[in-house]
Structure 1
């Protein structure tokens, strides 16, 4: 069977490009509805595109194309309503397969005929360069995603480090004897002190040691008790 059809269309397409035929072995023919759905394809298309992507009746052709080629085909189909249009289209399975065809578009009634051949000569070289650029763009996109993930990880580490540095700078005075801490940022003569455990229950801060006024007075009194008094004679010898 030389062609596949889901609708009743002529066996041979009458087109401005006479060498294109349903029986062609190298020219791949797709017949599309006005909305871009597949209606027919010849044996060459079945053997070429059909060996890599699934051709199904009524399936939109856009899903078989690279994103930029889908946009190009939409515009070319509209332009082809007034005159035949040629363009390069890249078909893909979305993963590993990419297949570029040099295509000619023309309308017969309310259906669009897409004839495609593999590019030769200069077009082939341009196609190869295009595929190379597409591959490079995909690689750069993957590298960019990796760099973005690495940057996000580094930023997270910096945020954590900044938090620790900020906490280190927020020293809290704590009495070395009773372990109470000032609970309010009031003048030293009026500040209130509370147990450390009670304070830390609502504040995750680093601490440094010191004396509250009461413990300072008690410590000085204890020093006066333990140390011998300094007589005037002893003071004179020191001088």
Structure 2
């Protein structure tokens, strides 16, 4: 299927080629075709580095043509428009018409190392643009209660903050009186949902040995998704 672009003598035209080549090696896909030859011939010069896709594509096509048609001019201006050499268009068109053998088409010889590298870089760039899905986070407010009024609250808080897990971040805290001279530790924490379970944090770390020397129980006061 023929591919058309706006005036390729303008920056806007080259930009349209740049956008069309995003994620592609050649104009019509992964193989060089007559479309590449025609568009190449219509571009007056190699696109600047401001158009990396078009620039790489231009180099690949130029390399193919130089190998297959040494000494032949490409992109000759005729009546204000650029054309490919007749021999180039004829061979490319003949190959393009052979619909029954598309997988075996090799218009201009084997793929060069430069072209392989360009294709790999293009694939790598596509993968880089796909951002991995981030795991959700939650903000938790927790009450940590001591055994009695004789519990050292400073050591209790140290025991709490000593718990270190991937995806766990302790935040601000304060001591809150609950009566009879007893205070509880109210503390904020942020967790990565896929990595930390508040229930497991309490049961397996905060209220188990050796922390249960200071911590009698823990309650989740607030739980909010971030």
TM-score normalised by the chain length of structure 1: 0.28
Instruction: Give the structure with higher Rg (CA).
Output: 1
Which fold has the larger relative contact order, with Cα–Cα distance below 8 Å and residues 6 or more apart in sequence?
Answer: 2
